[in-house]
Amino acid sequence: MKTIDDVAGAGRRVLVRADLNVPLDGGRITDDGRIRASLPTLTALTSLGAKVIICAHLGRPKGKPDLKYSLAPVAVRLGELLGRPVQLAADTVGPSAHAAIAALRPGGLVMLENLRFNRAETSADDTERGYFADRLAAPADLYVADGFGALHRKHASVYDVALRLPSVAGYLVQAEVAALSRLTGDIRRPYLVVLGGAKVTDKFGAIASLISTADQILIGGAMAFPFLAAQGYKVGTSLLDASQVDLAAAYLDQAARAGTEIVLPSDVVVAAGRTADVPHEVVAVNAIPLDQMALDIGPESAAAFAARIRAAQTVFWNGPMGVFELSPFAGGTRAVAQALTDSDAFTVVGGGDTDAAINALGFPGTKFGYVSTGGGASLEFIQGHPLPGLVALEAPTGPAGS
Ligand code: ADP
Ligand code: MG
């Protein structure tokens, strides 16, 4: 993989695709981790004397401008972190962007407005995406892929632009690929995967391939409920997508044949609703009251998970074990985080909320082997799936760039 170190940057107009998709609360950035993660590449390029054009997306605007999703707060925060203002163009490939890029001096930066204000960015139509990518690529002579969290998307700024310009990986993508590569191919065993969280539909498919690579899969959070239901347990009012239960049963069979252990919670913390002050209690998984929901794994499960984690050589963790945002339901997530930091294993944490959880619970990122900035992208990568953004980096550059 070619990186920034392989190219001359001085005076070149460099289009950087960054992942600046930070969580916002009423226009305020609640976690600037992704902005910080993009700094090494941006500072390297500016010190090389490049003219840096940053493009990124924020949230899910519906293919047209929507000020709620403006990158304005991100440009301000990036400016604070870099120690100088970052100008934000009012559009992506329009007159404002053209003027701002034309005015760039060596070592200067400009940020384009949210890529997803353009429908073509995420279009499934190659021609529509390609036309947009032509316009994104036009003012640049080099492309730097640094938005790891978006690499699994076949989007114009991730995939098509990389086919049109000479392209290299940024330092974040380089670091992510180096760390996650230790979870594919030659893995130090036992290799243990901890899955949790609430985006069950998005992540469920990953289990099939993880059964063939991992030695043990520990499942908590809402991911556990289809499996508990498949084993005949009643999960009360817990978050459960009933359509997943048959698949969970099939995974249990597949795992048994493969000799991979799927480890489920034996106890859970239940409550009538999802609030901090609600009365809660620990029950065995065969005793979840019909009118209660499970909001965390119980202490017995947490201890069992922790013991397995401590005995592993490689651990990948995606998804909180419970509703860690509310302190009565944070115990399972805290126990797993603690076990990862205690373990001698090479540990990787992925997932936006999982990252938020370790921060909220006071575990410094440096206590883990690697904290990925990409949830979906890291899950795709460790399954061995080709990421469109990486595929495009390796592909020869087309006519627009040669
Ligand atoms: P990530 O962003 O790390 O990939 P997800 O987005 O899949 O993780 O899930 C994170 C969310 O899962 C958290 O907001 C947490 O409150 C929620 N969660 C975890 N366990 C449960 C549960 N038992 N019931 C409901 N929500 C849960
Ligand atoms: Mg999430």
From the CB of 332, is ligand 1 less than 6 Å away? no
CA of 118 to the centre of ligand 2 (A): 24
- Decide if 331 contacts 294 (C-beta within 8 A): no
What does the pLDDT look like over 357-389, one tens digit per residue?
999 999 999 999 999 999 999 999 999 999 999
In the sheet that holds 109-111, the strands lie side by side as 87-88, 109-111, 51-55, 13-17, 142-145, 167-169
CA of 351 to the centre of ligand 2 (A): 6
Alpha helices in 165-284 (DSSP H): 171-180, 200-204, 206-213, 224-230, 245-258
Give the pLDDT score at 398: 62
Please give the single-letter amino acid code of residue 231: Q
Question: Ligand 1 atom 16: the closest Cα is on which residue?
Answer: 323
Question: Ligand 1 atom 23: the closest Cα is on which residue?
Answer: 295
> What is the number of the ligand closest to the CA of 350?
1
From the CB of 197, is ligand 1 less than 6 Å away? yes
Please give the Cα distance from 194 to 262 (Å, whole number): 10
Please give the Cα distance from 183 to 191 (Å, whole number): 8
**Torsion, CA 205, CA 208, CA 213, CA 214, rounded to 10:** 80
**Mutational pocket test of ligand 1: of 200, 323, 329, 349, the residue with most ligand atoms within 8 Å of the beta carbon:** 323
From the CB of 318, is ligand 1 less than 6 Å away? yes
Give the pLDDT score at 402: 38
From the CB of 377, is ligand 1 less than 6 Å away? no
Please, what is the average pLDDT of the chain? Answer: 95
N residues, the chain: 402
What does the pLDDT look like over 95-112, one tens digit per residue?
999 999 999 999 999 999
Question: Ligand 1 atom 10: the closest Cα is on which residue?
Answer: 197
Q: What is the DSSP string of 75-89?
A: HHHHHHHHTS--EE-
Q: Is the peptide bond before 190 cis (omega within 30 degrees of 0)?
A: yes
**Mutational pocket test of ligand 1: of 199, 237, 349, the residue with most ligand atoms within 8 Å of the beta carbon:** 199
What does the pLDDT look like over 261-294, one tens digit per residue?
999 999 999 999 999 999 999 999 999 999 999 9
Give the pLDDT score at 327: 96
From the CB of 239, is ligand 1 less than 6 Å away? yes
Burial class (CB in 10 A: 0-12, 13-18, 19+), 197: buried
Question: Ligand 1 atom 9: the closest Cα is on which residue?
Answer: 197
Indicate which residues carry an active-site annotation: 34, 199, 352, 376
Give the pLDDT score at 8: 78
CA of 200 to the centre of ligand 2 (A): 10
* CB count in 10 Å sphere of residue 112: 26
Give the pLDDT score at 397: 77
Q: Which residues of the chain have pLDDT under 70?
A: 398-402
Query: Regarding beta strands 267-271 and 261-263, do their DSSP bridges make them parallel or antiparallel, or are they unpaired?
Result: unpaired
Picking from 252, 284, 247, 286, the residue whose alpha carbon sits closest to that of residue 269 is: 284
* 58: phi then psi, degrees, rounded to nearest 5: -145, 120
From the CB of 372, is ligand 1 less than 6 Å away? no
Give the pair of three-digit tokens for residue 304.
């069992």
Give the pLDDT score at 187: 96
